[in-house]
Amino acid sequence: MLVLGIESSCDETGVALVEAGDQGLPVLRADALHSQIEMHQAYGGVVPELASRDHIRRVLPLTEAVLARAGTRLADIDVIAYTRGPGLAGALLVGAGVACALGAALDRPVLGMHHLEGHLLSPFLGSDPPSFPFIALLVSGGHTQLMRVDGVGRYELLGETIDDAAGEAFDKSAKLMGLGYPGGPALARLAEAGDPTAFKLPRPLLHSGDLDFSFAGLKTAVLTQAKKLGAGLEARTADLCASTQAAIVDVLVRKSMAALEGAGLQRLVVAGGVGANQALRAALGEAAARRGVRVHYPELHLCTDNGAMIAMAAAMRLASGAQTASRSYAFDVKPRWPLAELTSRP
Ligand code: KG4
Ligand code: ZN
């Protein structure tokens, strides 16, 4: 069974083809991605209308590229999956519209997927796939959540951010330091040359006793430091980056370990764009090794948004019986869509 996956929830157009057999995990046949980062850079953030228009321009050429790379034709596709939410409404509508139009034209069923489930299951595309059950740390630009995952479609939310997401904390802090958009990778790069203990920054909710996060106060603390430094900021940017990154990483690591301990589990899956952060990977690796915990990541290029995770999650949902694909081509999108809602559905 060949599943085409289309991702268009934010600023990346991703298309991929995954093949599922009777046994074993589905495998990635080909994928293609166009990042809109350069286009949005001039505005310091994602401009939703521009994002939608660019998805329209990219999605069909990317689909053709994926088919060519996989040596397949449109007619060989069995199921078409697309990101139904959460994300930017107009951007989501492009992927949903194209997927349903392709489905109708080819007489193939379609499947609307949850973006975060895509991130969550993306490590199954890697060379070191996890097995259930595990704790998942989902860290993206819009979400920071700890989940207990007992199987495909069986997700229990253990804790989440009460304000900014971890990716937002990276991005907003970077913006305050004049590092542009998206700030996360830029801040991480500069942090390599900085001293993580140079500035004392807050670790909100570190000792709250629950698994919730809060990053809004950190951004304010970074702003206060930046203002205090004034003209001296430039010389200390690397130190402030390293200190900011250390504060975010510290909280993510400690809460992940607390979630594992609370659930009595020894497996952690890290997914979402911030999962590409090397300092986070190193700190999680150390903490996990001390506790005999195994940490699984998606391949580095599949940490940020992509079509492969959507095709993979669709293939796994179909294989598990959690969902069937539909030949109804009327579509809607869900810009806001809690992942926990997936669990309650049959
Ligand atoms: O999962 P993703 O691609 O998109 C969303 O669904 O949000 O995550 C994007 C987020 C952005 O906030 C970006 O700054 C952050 O992931 N990010 C990073 C790194 N790479 C991406 N943050 C820190 N370090 C990185 N290396
Ligand atoms: Zn994402």
pLDDT in tens, 198-244: 999 999 999 999 999 999 999 999 999 999 999 999 999 999 999 99
Nearest C-alpha neighbor of 42 from the set 235, 180, 185, 226:
180
pLDDT in tens, 139-154: 999 999 999 999 999 9
Ligand 1, atom nearest to 142 Cα? 7
Q: Whose CA is nearest to atom 14 of ligand 1?
A: 184
- 8 Å CB contact between 203 and 152: no
Give me the amino acid identity at 177: M
Sign, Cα dihedral of 65, 68, 69, 74: positive
Residue 6 CA to its chain's centroid (Å): 15
The whole-number pLDDT of residue 343 equals 74
Residues around the ion ligand 2 (C-beta < 5 A) = 140, 305
- 8 Å CB contact between 8 and 91: yes
The number of the ligand nearest the C-alpha atom of 171 reads 1
Please, which pLDDT band fits residue 346 given cuts at 50, 70 and 90? very low
Report the residue count for the chain: 346
Pocket of ligand 1 (CB under 6 A): 10, 140-142, 167, 170-171, 182-185, 188, 272-274, 276-277, 304-305
pLDDT in tens, 162-203: 999 999 999 999 999 999 888 999 999 999 999 999 999 999
Strands (E), the chain: 2-7, 12-19, 27-35, 79-85, 110-114, 134-139, 144-151, 154-160, 267-271, 294-296
Nearest C-alpha neighbor of 130 from the set 306, 336, 304, 268:
268
Mean per-residue pLDDT, 25-35: 97
Per DSSP, what are the bridge partners of residue 271?
A: 138
pTM for this predicted structure: 0.95
pLDDT in tens, 280-319: 999 999 999 999 999 999 999 999 999 999 999 999 999 9
Q: To test ligand 1's pocket by mutation, which of 8, 140, 215 has the most ligand atoms within 8 angstroms of CB?
A: 140
Q: To test ligand 1's pocket by mutation, which of 170, 171, 218 has the most ligand atoms within 8 angstroms of CB?
A: 170
In degrees, rounded to 5, the angle at the alpha carbon of residue 89 between the alpha carbons of residues 42 and 104 is 120
Within 10 angstroms of residue 278's Cβ, the number of other Cβ atoms is: 13
The whole-number pLDDT of residue 181 equals 85
DSSP three-state, residue 298: coil
The whole-number pLDDT of residue 342 equals 85
Q: Whose CA is nearest to atom 8 of ligand 1?
A: 273
Mean per-residue pLDDT, 15-24: 95
Assign 3-state DSSP to the chain and report helix, strand, coil percentages, each to 5. Answer: 50, 20, 30
DSSP three-state, residue 213: strand
Percent over 90 (pLDDT), the chain: 94
